Amino acid sequence: MSVTDSLQPADPINALLDGGLRMLITSIVDNAGITRAKSVPARRLRTAVRDGIGLSPVFAVMCTDDAITSSPMVNGPVGDNRLMPDLTAVAPLGPDGAVYWAPADQLSQDHEPVDICQRAALRRQEERAIAAGLNVKLGFELEFTVFTGSADDPRVATLGPAYGVIPTLALEDFAIELLEALDAAGVQAEQLHPEYANGQVEVALPPASPVAAADQSQLARMIVHRVARRHGLLASFAPITVAGAVGNGAHIHFSATLNEVPFGDDGGPSSHAKSLIAGVLAELDGLTGVLAPSVVSADRRIPSHWAGAYACWGTENREAALRYVPGSVTSRPDSANCEIKIGDAAGNAYLSAAAVLASALDGLERRLVLPDAVDRDPASYSDQERSDLGIRRLPLTLEDALSALEQSSVIRSALGEAIVDPFLAVRRHDASTIGALPLEERVRALRWRY
Ligand code: GLU
Ligand code: MG
């Protein structure tokens, strides 16, 4: 090796191949919130990273049931985009380092940006936040249900008690391997616990910059599925996996310093945090159409389920759509954040994060005033009291949530028409097909899609 060679940065592709990579999976999350993947063997890695992998633009209008709908922006079988694996975010799916995953950007065949790329939409909002002097961190909380049996005959893996040590011990082997696999992939989960419903588990991901946080949520979900299969289990992130049971949320915690000023301190949210939260609060109806856009999402988002049924904010109020979290006295001010409870894993994490950022930035730009905090369960007020306090119930149906999204100029302009139109076409296809079925059948139709 010459002196010049040793000064060259290490070739990441050689490093992966030398480390034993046998296959690279690369994926996008589509407008149905479904992760769609393509894989290459080791010998094709260099070519795939240089040239990209072909991907039809109709993936933008692929629905939850794999039907292909159309929109004025994306129509028909003609055309090709490039799926470009982003090796800056590559991670092993298991500690043995044989299978790696990288998120993909969608580019044209001339390697130009394309306006249907969901990951690029988030990157634009991240750049906008940086330009405004913000250092935004997002942390996803992922809930899922673990089943034994088969996909045709699934049985919840644990029978409570909620948050109990018995389900903790029942899933101990799975949990240890999961946490180790996440660590090996660079996702340093903060905690894992059995949730309220039978078979339900939550894993909390660490705060990260927006695109990295959305990448990590995709990666973590893949690792959950993979480790579950290795233990003879099946996992589902669908918003409801068992009709009548408490559903699975995908809450987003967000915080931002502004020119080094923290998001909150002992006195509560700082002045810029108030405007950011006010921006999200103002857009919550349209955000519901992005963050909770499945045919069972409204069934999950009901009062007394900690799922954010009411548009209001409150300090440590788990029934408010926006829960301000001051954090422990020993971790403040770094731990102060705002939890957005309305979302679930049927949303596309890139679009969800982009829409949240755009709403927050709009609040900051317009210096929106945050209304008073709500310090009670909003369901405990009368309709009149709620209306006097400005607390509204978030959309009760998928159709209403999608109409609210359609009417939100803040979200539409941030995501762009080339994303919003196909997104609405996909979700409206779902609403008019699977959405017309009884709950039990809607749950069954979605259970193994997420
Ligand atoms: N499972 C609840 C949901 O659907 C969330 C419970 C919690 O706050 O962790 O959003
Ligand atoms: Mg939870």
Domain assignment present for residue 78? The answer is yes
Letter for the amino acid at 33?
Answer: G
Domain assignment present for residue 425? The answer is yes
What integer is the mean pLDDT of 205-225?
98
Domain assignment present for residue 70? The answer is yes
Pocket test for ligand 1, best of 201, 203, 246 (most atoms within 8 A of CB): 246
Domain assignment present for residue 57? The answer is yes
Angstrom distance (rounded) from CA 279 to CA 360: 5
Domain assignment present for residue 13? The answer is yes
User: Do residues 152 and 233 both lie within one domain?
Assistant: yes
What integer is the mean pLDDT of 78-88?
95
Q: Which atom of ligand 1 is nearest to the CA of 305?
A: 2
By C-alpha distance, which of 203, 299, 290 is closest to 247?
299
Evaluate if residue 9 carries a pLDDT over 80. Answer: no
Cα of 153 to ligand 2 centre, how many Å? Answer: 26
User: Do residues 277 and 388 both lie within one domain?
Assistant: yes
| Domain closes at, from 114, 135, 158 | 114
Per residue in 319-335, pLDDT (tens digit) is 999 999 999 999 999 99
User: Do residues 35 and 131 both lie within one domain?
Assistant: no
Per residue in 336-369, pLDDT (tens digit) is 999 999 999 999 999 999 999 999 999 999 999 9
The boundaries of the domain holding residue 295 are: 124-446
Q: Which ligand is nearest to the CA of 248?
A: 1
What integer is the mean pLDDT of 159-165?
98
Count of domains forming the chain: 2
Cα of 305 to ligand 1 centre, how many Å? Answer: 7
Q: Which ligand is nearest to the CA of 341?
A: 1
pLDDT (0 to 100) of residue 6? 55
Cα of 178 to ligand 2 centre, how many Å? Answer: 17
pLDDT (0 to 100) of residue 5? 53
Cα of 305 to ligand 2 centre, how many Å? Answer: 10
Q: What is the DSSP string of 209-222?
A: -HHHHHHHHHHHHH
Evaluate if residue 143 carries a pLDDT over 50. Answer: yes
Q: Is residue 423 within 8 Å of residue 314, measured between CB atoms?
A: no
Cα pseudo-dihedral 246, 435, 144, 97, rounded to 10? 180
Pocket test for ligand 1, best of 142, 193, 195, 325 (most atoms within 8 A of CB): 195
pLDDT (0 to 100) of residue 1? 46
Per residue in 12-42, pLDDT (tens digit) is 999 999 999 999 999 999 999 999 999 999 9
Angstrom distance (rounded) from CA 327 to CA 63: 40
User: Do residues 149 and 97 both lie within one domain?
Assistant: no
What is the pTM assigned to this prediction?
Answer: 0.97
| Domain closes at, from 93, 114, 135 | 114
If you take atom 7 of ligand 1, which residue's CA is the nearest one? 306
pLDDT (0 to 100) of residue 420? 98
What integer is the mean pLDDT of 50-59?
95
Kindly list the protein residues whose Cβ atom lies closer than 6 A to any atom of ligand 1. 143, 202, 246-249, 300, 305-307, 318, 341
Cα of 321 to ligand 2 centre, how many Å? Answer: 14
Q: Which ligand is nearest to the CA of 141?
A: 2
Cα of 162 to ligand 1 centre, how many Å? Answer: 12
Percentage of the residues of the chain whose pLDDT score is greater than 70: 98
User: Do residues 245 and 348 both lie within one domain?
Assistant: yes
Encoding tokens for residue 368? 């929106």
Cα of 163 to ligand 2 centre, how many Å? Answer: 10
Q: Is 112 helix (H, G, I), strand (E, B) or coil?
A: coil
By C-alpha distance, which of 272, 374, 227, 394 is closest to 314?
374
Domain assignment present for residue 45? The answer is yes
What integer is the mean pLDDT of 257-277?
96
Q: Which atom of ligand 1 is nearest to the CA of 246?
A: 1
User: Do residues 65 and 146 both lie within one domain?
Assistant: no
User: Do residues 189 and 334 both lie within one domain?
Assistant: yes
Average pLDDT value for the chain: 96
Q: Which atom of ligand 1 is nearest to the CA of 141?
A: 9
Angstrom distance (rounded) from CA 282 to CA 356: 11
| Domain closes at, from 63, 85, 114 | 114
Q: Which atom of ligand 1 is nearest to the CA of 301?
A: 4
User: Do residues 176 and 96 both lie within one domain?
Assistant: no
Pocket test for ligand 1, best of 145, 196, 288, 325 (most atoms within 8 A of CB): 196
Cα of 183 to ligand 1 centre, how many Å? Answer: 24
Domain assignment present for residue 119? The answer is no
Q: Which ligand is nearest to the CA of 246?
A: 1
Q: What is the DSSP string of 206-264?
A: PPB-HHHHHHHHHHHHHHHHHHHHHTT-EEE--S-SSTTS----EEEEEEEEETTB-SE
Evaluate if residue 176 carries a pLDDT over 80. Answer: yes
- CATH code, domain with 197: 3.30.590.10
Percentage of the residues of the chain whose pLDDT score is greater than 90: 94
pLDDT (0 to 100) of residue 8? 62
pLDDT (0 to 100) of residue 76? 79
pLDDT (0 to 100) of residue 7? 59
The set of residues, in sequence order, having a beta carbon less than 8 Å from that of 320 and lying 6+ positions away, is: 308, 310, 312, 313, 314, 341, 374, 378
If you take atom 8 of ligand 1, which residue's CA is the nearest one? 306
User: Do residues 136 and 280 both lie within one domain?
Assistant: yes
Give the pLDDT band (50/70/90) at residue 99: very high
Domain assignment present for residue 134? The answer is yes
Angstrom distance (rounded) from CA 187 to CA 182: 5
Based on DSSP, count helices (H) and strands (E) in the chain, helices before strands. Answer: 16, 18
pLDDT (0 to 100) of residue 274? 98
Cα of 284 to ligand 1 centre, how many Å? Answer: 17
What ranges make up the beta strands (E) of 75-168? Answer: 81-85, 91-92, 99-107, 134-149, 154-156
Per-residue burial over 253-275, b if 16 or more Cβ lie within 10 Å, else e, is bbbbbbeeebbbeeeebbebbbb
